[in-house]
Amino acid sequence: MPKRPNKDAAELIPDRPTISSVRDAAKNCQACDLYKRGTQTVFGEGARKARLMLVGEQPGDAEDLAGQPFVGPAGKLLDRALVEAGIDRAAVYVTNVVKHFKWEPRGKRRIHKKPSAGEIAACRPWLDTEIALVKPRAIVCLGATAAQSLLGRQFKVTAHRGELIASTLAPIMLATVHPSSILRAPDDETRRTEMKRSTDALRKVARALEKS
């Protein structure tokens, strides 16, 4: 069996981690093959002691090029939802369960490809460290990949979207759809409805945070 060339991500985490030292360490991660495909590691960013952490699936095309999470079209939609929910994005920490962009070519475009269970597991030490350092009071999972990664593989966003869920990871936990799925809605009316549901979910988290 060929020797596995890549280190586990956990081995790269510094002894006394801070968000910036962990972000630096993640730049050199080769714990799964996605480092070969993406332009760069896209680590989480935001307030170091944010009370709210948003977790998506993986960076997209724009994020891969910018090196920042949620800066593309889905990020802009998320920004709008946060504004409508009265949440200041600068006070939030945003990240993804997988830190490299997985894609496949279609003509000249790079099309998002869902990360595998192995890639999600390989990347998990980075997310666990972000959660341990930021210690958010609330975590919102954006989409099924994030929700199943943090809440278990049986978790269904379609069944529990917008509900407050018990978790050991944070006192307040909720899952909603990924903003990219709202962008893919088949028509304007569906898009408006989906956006309202996501904004309502964020409002619910904001209210729970106020009380906590």
Binding site for ligand SF4 (CB under 6 A): 9, 26, 29-32, 34-35, 41, 98-100, 119, 122-123, 126
Q: Is the Cβ of residue 57 or residue 119 nearer to ligand SF4 in the bound state? A: 119
Per the CB < 8 A criterion, the answer to whether 169 and 139 are in contact is yes
> Distance (Å, rounded) from C-alpha 29 to C-alpha 123?
9
Q: Is the Cβ of residue 100 or residue 178 nearer to ligand SF4 in the bound state? A: 100
Q: How far is the CB of 123 from ligand SF4 (least distance, A)?
A: 3
Q: How far is the CB of 26 from ligand SF4 (least distance, A)?
A: 6
* Nearest one of 91, 40, 45 to 67, comparing CA atoms: 40
Per the CB < 8 A criterion, the answer to whether 164 and 174 are in contact is yes
Helix axes 188-211, 73-84, angle to 10 degrees: 50
- Tally Cβ neighbours within 10 Å of residue 110: 19
- Mapping DSSP to helix (H, G, I), strand (E, B) and coil, where does residue 182 land? helix
Q: How far is the CB of 64 from ligand SF4 (least distance, A)?
A: 11
Q: How far is the CB of 71 from ligand SF4 (least distance, A)?
A: 18
What stretches of 73-116 show up as alpha helix (H) in DSSP? 73-84
Q: How far is the CB of 102 from ligand SF4 (least distance, A)?
A: 8
Q: Is the Cβ of residue 9 or residue 146 nearer to ligand SF4 in the bound state? A: 9
Give φ, ψ of 154 to 5 degrees. -85, -10
Q: Is the Cβ of residue 124 or residue 137 nearer to ligand SF4 in the bound state? A: 124
Q: Is the Cβ of residue 113 or residue 184 nearer to ligand SF4 in the bound state? A: 113
| Terminal-residue alpha carbon distance, the chain | 52
